[in-house]
Structure 1
Amino acid sequence: MVIKVKLTGHCNCGGVSYSFDGQPALTAVCHCKTCQRQTGSYASLVVGVQDPELKVLGETLGTFITQGDSGQPVQRSFCTRCGSPIVSRCDSIPGLAFIKAGTLDDTSELNPTAELYLDDAQAWTARLGVTCYAKGM
């Protein structure tokens, strides 16, 4: 049985908002160095969703493109006013968008199902007991 959920969220200043209505593909903790830099933390909690189902609105949405370890571009979208990261899209994983979970209005139902880029994880972080990948998926 497929359970659809409604996810909504926004940046710190409210200039960018989004909604998703569907079945998330995964919820993961990403330990890659780029996510560490983007969040200013040891990792980033992301929710992978079908990109066509994700609606992002806001005049202050900007995108910074980095190169993923696949060699392909990663579009990292954020609010240009307050700097909040919103969503990342990897060319190597077409059709999937990764919502930055800290921007969700309600995180009470989130339960990570994977940890990504353990090779980049800080040595002091504990594993969650979920599927782990040394690199990406």
Structure 2
Amino acid sequence: MSHKVKGHCRCGQVEIEVTATPMITMACHCTGCQKMTSSAFSLSSLFPSTAFAIISGDPVIGGLHGSTRHYFCGHCMSWLFTRPEGMNDFVNVRATMLEDSRAYKPFVETYIDEKLEWAFTGAVHSFSKFPPADKFPELLQEYAQKIEPEFIE
């Protein structure tokens, strides 16, 4: 389904746009995400790279500087999106950067073994680390059937 949503960093210097509904929405409880967000977890939505564009501004790399790249606004330092290692066809957008971020409720939560005991996301599925690779297609299909229709107006 075609779907267009804009987003931006806190100061507005970097604007982004997605032109599809998310493939899946997630919350990550790992201590790295806790530190980068200064919060209990990070929220993200996975999109095909072809459905993601930087409309204005020049994001900078922050956080991890290896194969997985985290992109931030160079001015306000908002964490905007991640290009996960080995997943060049996808971009993981920080859901709170998108318009109406309330629509991006996490479907999956990861790294619950590092979760702060009081943090609650309401995610349908929870994993101690990441979902096993063989389970990911099933999760994408379940998300598309149960959640994606909520994005259709």
User: Which of the five TM-score ranges fits, normalised by the shorter chain?
Assistant: 0.7 to 0.9
Aligned residues of 1:35 and 1:43 also touching (Cα < 8 A): yes
Q: Deviations over 1:26-49 (max 9, x none)?
A: 111111111111110000111111
The residue correspondences of 1:85-124 to structure 2 (distance < 5 A) are: 85-124=79-118
Q: TM-score, normalised by structure 1?
A: 0.85
Structure 1: stretches of 5+ with no match in the other structure:
none
1:9 aligned residue: 7
Number of residue pairs aligned between Structure 1 and Structure 2? 131
Tell me whether 5-14 or 103-112 shows the greater mean CA deviation.
103-112
1:19 aligned residue: 17
Cα distance in 2, alignment partners of residues 16 and 30 from structure 1: 23
The one-letter code matched in structure 2 to 1:19 is: E
Q: Per the alignment, do residues 78 and 129 of structure 1 end up closer, same or farther by CA in structure 2, a change over 3 Å counting?
A: closer
Aligned residues of 1:65 and 1:73 also touching (Cα < 8 A): no
Q: Secondary structure at the match of 1:119?
A: helix
Aligned residues of 2:44 and 2:95 also touching (Cα < 8 A): yes
More helix by percentage: 2
Aligned residues of 1:60 and 1:81 also touching (Cα < 8 A): no
Cα distance in 1, alignment partners of residues 97 and 123 from structure 2: 24
Q: Deviations over 1:70-119 (max 9, x none)?
A: xx621000001011110011113331211111111212322321111111
- Tell me the percent identity: 25
Cα distance in 2, alignment partners of residues 129 and 81 from structure 1: 32
Moved beyond 6 Å, runs of 4+:
none
1:74 aligns with 2:68: yes
Q: In angstroms, what is the RMSD of aligned CA positions?
A: 1.9
More strand by percentage: 1
